[in-house]
Amino acid sequence: MTTIGFIGLGLMGSGFTKRLRALNYRVVGHDLDAARVAAAADWGVEPAPSLTALSAEADIIALCVTTSDAVAAVVTGADGLVASGKLSGKTVVDFSTTEMAVTHRIAAAIEAVGGHFSDAPVSGGPGAAETGTLAIMLGGSDTAVAAAMPMLEQLGRATHMGAIGTGQATKLVNQVLCLTNYCVAAEALRLAQAYGVDAAKIPHALEPGLANSAVLQAIYPRMVDEDFAPRGYARQILKDFEMLHAATKAQHLALPMSAQAMTLFRLLVAGGDGELDGAAVVKLLPQVGDKA
């Protein structure tokens, strides 16, 4: 039985590990938050007291943590995976959304001790992780991708985009298309409400046409219901926007729409709503009465 070592047992990590356990993988988990480790034991994740212990047990090591600094600490920190001395011949898969410079640095460190690495950011959220319907964007060598692919194919649609870093570059494209659309959906909701439209019917009405999107079907209804319980955090969306604009600055790319969306999420987080779902961005747009 293949053993997966999974690092990061938050919202996404919980979805991943529930899916992996349902598929009868043995999963050994580690998180800095002991409460998350205890919760994951309820669905069969075995606790690893350290990254060294996890590395010794795992055939494939996966991580899904919040920031690039956290990714670097897990891999190259004093008590990290590289220092464990247990990576030779093993594959490390980073599901996190990570800065490309960090991705290249940790890949080199893993390969230097005989391991393999793939950057594999995802889109779809915790629910898609649990149901195995994620979009998985892969960067890495053919060897690294081949080693992880039997697992990845059961977590969603995994597409090998090219060399190390191309997974993260594809995730930037995803964020332009997806996260900017949060703000567009918020504008559309306020427009519908202003003219007396039953806003809850919009996703059904527009589904056959060109306005349809995953955001319209999944995020817009949360805005209608004012359901801002986090499936993902607004602060993480802002982090991804900041990462996007830092990456594109070096290429002198003009991204005016995503720049405006980033400003809205800065306002949302600065206003104290960083722990809410990204759908809460609609709160920034005032609701007006029927103008018809």
The alpha helices in the chain, defined as continuous H runs, are 11-22, 34-41, 51-57, 68-76, 81-84, 100-112, 125-131, 142-152, 166-194, 202-206, 214-218, 220-225, 234-249, 256-268
98 part of a folded domain: yes
Is the domain of 16 the same as that of 152? yes
In a domain, 202, yes or no: yes
Residue 292 resides in a domain: no
pLDDT band per the 50, 70, 90 thresholds, residue 249: confident
Same domain, yes or no: 186 and 262:
yes
Q: Which of 90, 171, 239, 283 is catalytic?
A: 171
Question: Is residue 171 among the annotated active site residues?
Answer: yes
Q: What is the pLDDT, as a whole number, of residue 229?
A: 96
User: Are residues 186 and 157 part of one domain?
Assistant: no
Of 98, 129, 162, which marks where a domain is finished?
162
In this prediction, residue 250 carries a pLDDT of: 80
Shared-domain flag, residues 108 and 181: no
Q: Report pLDDT for 232.
A: 86
pLDDT digits (tens, 9 = 90+) for 116-167: 999 999 999 999 999 999 999 999 999 999 999 999 999 999 999 999 999 9
Q: Are residues 152 and 176 in the same domain?
A: no
Q: Is the whole model's pTM more than 0.75, yes or no? A: yes
> Of the candidates 111, 136, 162, which is a domain's last residue?
162
Instruction: State yes or no: pLDDT of 290 exceeds 50.
Output: no
**For range 10-37, the mean pLDDT:** 97
Statement to judge: residues 128 and 200 lie in one domain? no
Mean pLDDT of the chain: 95
Amino acid at 232: G
226: buried, middle or exposed (CB in 10 Å: 19+, 13-18, 0-12)? exposed
Residue 137, strand partner residues: 159
141 and 19: one domain?
Answer: yes
Q: Are 149 and 249 part of one and the same domain? A: no
Judged against a pLDDT cut of 90, whether residue 275 lies above it is answered with: yes
Print the domain residue range for 87: 3-162
Which residues on adjacent β-strands are paired with residue 158?
Answer: 136
**pLDDT over 90 for what percent of the chain?**
94
Question: What SS3 state is found at 118?
Answer: strand
Our count of domains for the chain comes to: 2
Residues in the chain: 292
On whether both 8 and 26 belong to a single domain, the answer is yes
pLDDT tens figures, 209-232: 999 999 999 999 999 999 999 998
> How far is the CA of 138 from the CAs of 134, 165, 282, in angstroms?
12, 8, 32
The reply to whether 125 and 14 lie within a common domain is yes
pLDDT higher than threshold 90 for residue 77: yes
Q: What is the pLDDT of residue 289?
A: 60
Residue 49, burial from CB neighbour count under 10 angstroms (0-12, 13-18, 19+): exposed
Whether pLDDT at 10 is above 90: yes
Same domain, 147 and 43: yes
Report how far residue 196's alpha carbon sits from residue 224's, in angstroms, rounded to the nearest whole number: 13
Q: Which CA distances in Å does 267 have to 141, 261, 263, 271? A: 40, 10, 6, 6
pLDDT band at 34, cuts 50/70/90?
A: very high
290 lies in some domain: no
Out of 121, 141, 162, pick the residue that ends a domain: 162
Q: How far is CA 222 from CA 197, 213, 216, 271, 283, in A?
A: 17, 14, 10, 20, 12
